[in-house]
Amino acid sequence: MSALKDNFRQDCRGGHVRFSWFFYKVGRRLYLKAMRILYHLASSFVMVFGISAIFSVCASGYATQICKMAMSIFNFTIAEVDITGNLQTSDIDVLDALGFDSRTSMMRFSVERARAALEALPWVASVSVRKVYPAKISITITERCPVALWQHDATVDIIDREGRIIVPYTPALGRGLPLFVGKGAEHQASVFLNEIQSFSSFLARARAYIRVGERRWDILLDNGIRIKLPEVDAAGRLAAALNIESRFRNIETIDLRLDDRITVSLSDAVLIRHLAAVQDLDHHKKVRKAEGGEV
């Protein structure tokens, strides 16, 4: 009988242990589930509170000030602008084009908009813009190369190799540049200068290069002589003109447009003197003939 009681007590104790472990597992699961629910509720509350705060700030008009304060605190304000390659474009022109001020931030600075703004400046051919964190902007400019002056109507502009207008002419900027005149001259100026570059001494005496009918060139020298070049092989025919110009004086025009000949015309003053001399000679002949003398 006592043995049965002992076995019963052991079974009861084992059952008690089993029941206790069961309730522990169930309780732990309920606890973890409750904690997850509380975590999600807390996250949702924080999100709702944050969104409400943002809307409140925006509605009150303080968003810009707060952003600027944050940028200042974290040192995101642009502190240095490094500009290289600019000869004709001043640093002030660059900064004005970008609209920089003491509050401009790295985060809000747009490289694409900056590049477009700088390429709109007259002397800028191309530009590279980079952000160098934490607070520096690096700008490298390639400027247009002026090659000539272009006179069209009553206007004179400085042009680049492609014939694009850079800026209006000023004595300081245009000193030493050759002058091209006429419609279409701006697009052919660089090509023509390359064709006649071997005549360096002659180029120094050229007062203007005149485009005629958008087909050929006339060259006006510093002594007033006008050289009319053909449409084809202008450089080859130019050598003949230089030979004539150096040997004869009082020439007004040297016409090289025909392949088989060179036509030279005298200046008006020389032509008038020549006509006067011919008329005087004819007069003397008539007088002597009337007097019965030999002509």
* Spans in the chain with pLDDT lower than 50: 1, 3-5, 7-17, 19, 46-48, 51, 54-55, 71, 73, 295
Selection from 83, 82, 98 nearest residue 142 by Cα: 83
The DSSP code for 177 is: P
Whether a cis peptide bond, with omega within 30° of 0, leads into 171 is: no
Question: pLDDT tens-digit profile of 65-75?
Answer: 555 555 454 55
Domain ranges of the chain: 18-48, 75-143, 148-270
Write down the architecture of domain 75-143 according to CATH: Roll (3.10)
DSSP-assigned states of every residue in 33-47? HHHHHHHHHHHHHHH
CATH fold, domain 148-270, is Rossmann fold (3.40.50)
| Secondary structure (3-state) at 169 | coil
> Distance between CA 228 and CA 234 in Å, rounded?
9
Longest dimension (CA), the chain: 194
Question: pLDDT tens-digit profile of 179-228?
Answer: 999 999 999 999 999 999 888 877 888 999 999 999 999 999 988 889 99
Mean of the per-residue pLDDT values for the chain?
79
pTM for this entry: 0.65
User: CB atoms < 10 A from the CB of 47, how many?
Assistant: 10
Question: pLDDT tens-digit profile of 214-239?
Answer: 999 999 998 888 999 999 988 888 88
- pLDDT, position 28: 63
